[in-house]
Amino acid sequence: MSDVNRRIVLASRPEGEPTPGNFRLETAPVPSIGPGQVLLRTRWLSLDPYMRGRMSAAKSYATPVEVGDVMEGGTVSEVVASENPDFSIGALVLSHSGWQDYAVSDGKGLRRLDPDVAPVSTALGILGMPGMTAYTGLLNIGQPKPGETLVVAAAAGPVGSLVGQIARLKGCHTVGIAGGPEKCRYLREDLGFDATIDHRAPDFAAQLERACPQGIDIYFENVGGAVWDAVFPLLNEFARVPVCGLVAQYNATSLPEGPDRTPQLMRAILTKRLTLRGFIVRDFATQRDEFVRDVGAWLRAGQIRYKEDVTEGLERAPEAFIGMLKGHNFGKTLVRVSS
Amino acid sequence: MSDVNRRIVLASRPEGEPTPGNFRLETAPVPSIGPGQVLLRTRWLSLDPYMRGRMSAAKSYATPVEVGDVMEGGTVSEVVASENPDFSIGALVLSHSGWQDYAVSDGKGLRRLDPDVAPVSTALGILGMPGMTAYTGLLNIGQPKPGETLVVAAAAGPVGSLVGQIARLKGCHTVGIAGGPEKCRYLREDLGFDATIDHRAPDFAAQLERACPQGIDIYFENVGGAVWDAVFPLLNEFARVPVCGLVAQYNATSLPEGPDRTPQLMRAILTKRLTLRGFIVRDFATQRDEFVRDVGAWLRAGQIRYKEDVTEGLERAPEAFIGMLKGHNFGKTLVRVSS
């Protein structure tokens, strides 16, 4: 056990893309615990696009991280000291310890993990928040039916890759949008997507149209921006758009130039009878058991797969996070903080 | 029976607001009927905002009226000649005869009306397409719950006035937006809206905010434009927006100036988990029986009321239609074609 607690705090709020200067690595004493508490040592830290929102002061569905505070984040942690009879030393738990080596918890909200059931890092990915985001958003809002066409962007990420695979299991024609030939090949050959498109291709919109000869019935929105612009004219009557993320616009500091296309969107919603609905995973918290049951079974049966993109060392979390927002990750972004 | 069939055809497609010159009154012989057919004489012609869409060549949920063709429209008609045993002379039917004195039908799609149950003109209004639009859109998409705040624009129109009254029966705080003090007073005093706002008031947006101290849970969208702009920042988390019409933008010939606010709308959909969903009444055709049962019962019990705005004479249909698009009507717009 190291004798300091390294932690990464928000040094300043980003304007546009976050830079390394927006973060600061600090050290503090390892905290001590009192009755009922446990000391957690972080093994895995999850990096997720929603954290970009927490860095801004703007109101969203969660309160921002304050400047000077430890960055928020889900973790897989090990109990290294315990004055709580429910948690013995050595236990592995899903926690929300943030970007730091150690955290204190009274045990509330911790979930015990069993390494014999699945690698514990999956509690941050396919069996965790990103997986449940994909599962609940697709099934509740997307409502896939056999023969329909589903398009998902950021398709090689932890949410998108599961969205596409579940849609495939539901009988959809699945089209994934990702950055670069390597990710596209992975989606087709390893995950069974019917078609993939590299959003960096100059004829991206034309390729998307060719990949969707029957139009688009479900567009699982992770990115916004230019991808949305290409998807929008292809949406079929009664198409559903679960709005899960808008990573392409998280760093924007102003609105795009005009004209204002809002009336065009509203007209399409009306005449095509579209459904656009935003959600976050906790809106469907009551569906956790079905999620674990279904995705667990598909995983065990080899019907779905996942990929992790691991960065070694807490000190490298800022660069991994910045890279992820640019699409440099290939799979679920994790930081191995200790082992 | 007059010996000519007057009919109003689309003379040219409007650019922006329709003008009288976009219509032409023609006369033709009264058509003759063959075996299985009936001759229908129009009593009431319904004028509705959707007809503006039919005048344009742009693709929508229905095919446009061709230049030179009779304008489309729902009618209450009388059978004046019959070679169809199912329809005797004198019967009153709901038809889709269009803007003309006479039409021929083989009986398919006609619905018999009983003047003893309700005034037959209501088959074009509160017990017809506009009423069912209000009922199905509000209950299926709006999903009103007691204590929620509902806002509806064009609130004195046939759709909006029923939306507000049903929401009131469901226990909502109901806020109606209408043009002018007379309509606003009617909504409050006769229909029981909790608050009304004149969209012509210079401080319209501030008034709307004051009328919705708990924010807006349901916005029934009939108009778009400046009303939407005022509603948008007041939408609560999980608000539902049934998109029924956009009359404020039907005449627009170009998009508004920038910036492009689409990303702002998408961000709100995500962070507030809004649902925007377009619909037209035929999407809920299977709910006709419930609609007639419920709205019929509320009408008989005096729990809801309606208003008609009658123009005399087919030849005045174009001016009545043009006026309706500007909000000059007060109640359901009808043309009495014959009596």
Structure-token pair, residue B319 = 């001016």
Query: What pLDDT score was predicted for residue B2?
Result: 56
Q: Report the pLDDT value the prediction gives residue B290, as an integer from 0 to 100.
A: 97
Judged against a pLDDT cut of 80, whether residue A60 lies above it is answered with no
Q: Among all residues of chain A, which has the CA nearest to that of B273?
A: A278
What is the separation of C-alpha B264 from the centre of its chain, rounded to a whole number of angstroms? 30
Task: Say yes or no for a CB contact (<8 Å) between A266 and B60.
Answer: no
Of B245, B265, B277, the CB nearest to A262: B265
**Amino acid occupying residue B283:** D
In a 13 Å sphere around the CA of B75, the CA atoms on its Cβ side amount to 29
> What pLDDT, in 10s, does the model give residues B223-272?
999 999 999 999 999 999 999 998 888 778 889 898 999 999 999 999 99
Contact A223, A243 (CB under 8 A): no
Yes or no: say if A45 and A35 are a contact pair by the CB < 8 Å rule. no
Task: Give the pLDDT confidence score for residue B221 in this predicted structure.
Answer: 97
User: What secondary structure letter does DSSP report for B100?
Assistant: B
A12-45 per-position pLDDT tens digit: 999 989 999 999 999 999 999 999 999 999 999 9
Domain boundaries, chain B: 4-125+308-336, 129-284+292-297
DSSP state string for B209-260: HHH-TT-EEEEEBS--HHHHHHHGGGEEEEEEEEE---GGGTT-SSPPPSS-
- State in words which class domain B4-125+308-336 has: alpha beta
What value does the mean pLDDT of chain A take? 95
ipTM score for this prediction = 0.90
The mean per-residue pLDDT over the stretch A97-124 comes to 96
Within 10 angstroms of residue B294's Cβ, the number of other Cβ atoms is 16
The mean per-residue pLDDT over the stretch B15-28 comes to 96
Looking at the predicted structure, is the pLDDT value of residue B200 above 80? yes
Q: Does A270 contact B at CB distance below 8 Å?
A: yes
Question: How do residues A156-200 score in pLDDT, each as one tens digit?
Answer: 999 999 999 999 999 999 999 999 999 999 999 999 999 999 999
For the entire predicted model, the pTM comes to: 0.91
What value, to the nearest 5°, has the Cα angle with vertex B269 and ends B268 and B272? Answer: 65
Distance from the Cα of A74 to chain B's closest Cα (Å) equals 20
Q: Cβ of B237 under 8 Å from any chain A Cβ?
A: yes
> Which residues in chain A have their CB less than 8 angstroms from residue B278's CB?
268-275
How many pairs of residues across A and B have Cβ atoms under 8 Å apart? 142
Nearest CA in chain B to A276: B276
Answer whether residue A152 shows pLDDT above 60: yes
Would the CB atoms of A255 and B259 count as touching at under 8 Å? yes
Q: B244, A280: Cβ pair inside 8 Å?
A: no
Residues of chain A positioned with their CB less than 8 A from the CB of B257: 258-260
Which pLDDT value is given to residue B90? 97
Q: How far is B265 from chain A (nearest CA, A)?
A: 8
Residue B117 pLDDT greater than 80, yes or no: yes
Chain A residues with beta carbon closer than 8 angstroms to that of B268: 278
- In angstroms, rounded to a whole number, what is the distance separating the alpha carbons of residues B121 and B124? 6
Q: Cα distance from A229 to chain B (closest Cα, Å)? A: 10
How high is the pLDDT of residue B249? 82
Cβ-Cβ contacts under 8 Å, A247 against chain B: none
- The answer to whether the CB atoms of A60 and B271 lie below 8 A apart is yes
Strand residues in chain B grouped as ranges (E): 4-10, 23-29, 38-46, 75-82, 92-95, 102-105, 111-112, 149-152, 173-178, 195-198, 216-220, 235-243, 275-278, 308-312, 332-336
On whether any CB of chain B is under 8 Å from the CB of A282, the answer is no
Q: Is pLDDT of A251 > 90?
A: no
Amino acid letter, residue A37: Q
> What mean pLDDT is predicted for residues A99-104?
98
| pLDDT the model gives residue A253 | 81
Which chain B residues are Cβ-neighbours of A252 within 8 angstroms? Answer: 263
Instruction: Tell which residue, B246, B61, B194, B220, has the closest CA to residue B134.
Output: B220
Task: Give the helix/strand (H/E) hosting B323.
Answer: helix B317-325
Whole-number Cα distances in Å, B168 to A131, A191, B134, B249, B308: 41, 51, 13, 28, 21
B270 inside 8 A of chain A by CB: yes
Do residue A258 and residue B262 have CB atoms under 8 angstroms apart?
A: no
CA-nearest residue to B239 within chain A is A277
What is the average pLDDT across A288-301? Answer: 95
* Mean pLDDT (whole number) for A301-330: 96
pLDDT of the residue at A250: 78
Contact A249 B267 (CB under 8 A): yes
Report CB contact under 8 Å: A61, B256. no
Residues of B in contact with A268 (CB under 8 A): 278
Q: Is the pLDDT of residue A61 over 80?
A: no
Which of chain A's residues have a Cβ under 8 Å away from the Cβ of B264? Answer: 255
Residue B255: which of A256, A264, A273 has the nearest Cβ?
A264
> Parallel, antiparallel, or unpaired for β A23-29 and B149-152?
unpaired
Q: Does A215 touch chain B (CB under 8 A)?
A: no
Residue B75 near residue B8 (C-beta atoms within 8 A): no
Q: How far is CA A269 from CA A119, B5, B219, B256, in A?
A: 43, 39, 15, 18
Mean pLDDT lowest among A230-244, A274-288, B50-64, B175-189: B50-64
Q: Which residues pair with B8 in a beta bridge?
A: B25
Q: Is B49 on the interface with A (CB under 8 A)?
A: no
CATH topology (fold) of A4-125+307-336: Quinone Oxidoreductase; Chain A, domain 1 (3.90.180)
CA distances to A71, B99, B237, B338 from A49, in Å: 13, 56, 21, 65
Q: Is the pLDDT of residue B184 over 80?
A: yes
B60 pLDDT above the threshold of 80? no
Query: In whole numbers, what is the pLDDT of chain B averaged over residues?
Result: 95
Least confident of A120-124, A183-187, B325-329: B325-329
Query: Would you say residue B1 has pLDDT above 90?
Result: no
CA distance B311 to chain A (A): 29
CA distances from A166 to A139, A182, A215, A283 (A): 9, 21, 19, 20
Which pLDDT does position A2 carry in this prediction? 57
Nearest-CA residue of chain A relative to B270? Answer: A278
Option in A258, A263, A277 nearest B259 (CB): A258
> How many residues can be counted in chain B?
339
Contact B260 A263 (CB under 8 A): no
Q: What is the CATH number of domain A129-284+292-297?
A: 3.40.50.720
The answer to whether A249 faces chain B, any CB pair under 8 Å, is yes
Contacts of A225 in chain B (CB under 8 A): 263
Residue A115 in 3-state DSSP?
coil
Q: Cβ–Cβ contacts within 10 Å for residue A254, how many?
A: 8
Interface mutation target, options A240, A270, A271, A280, chain B, most CBs of B under 10 Å: A270
Q: CB distance from A31 to chain B under 8 Å? A: no
CA angle (B158, B199, B308) in 5-degree steps: 20
Confirm or reject contact between B246 and chain A (CB < 8 A). Answer: yes
pLDDT of residue B75: 98
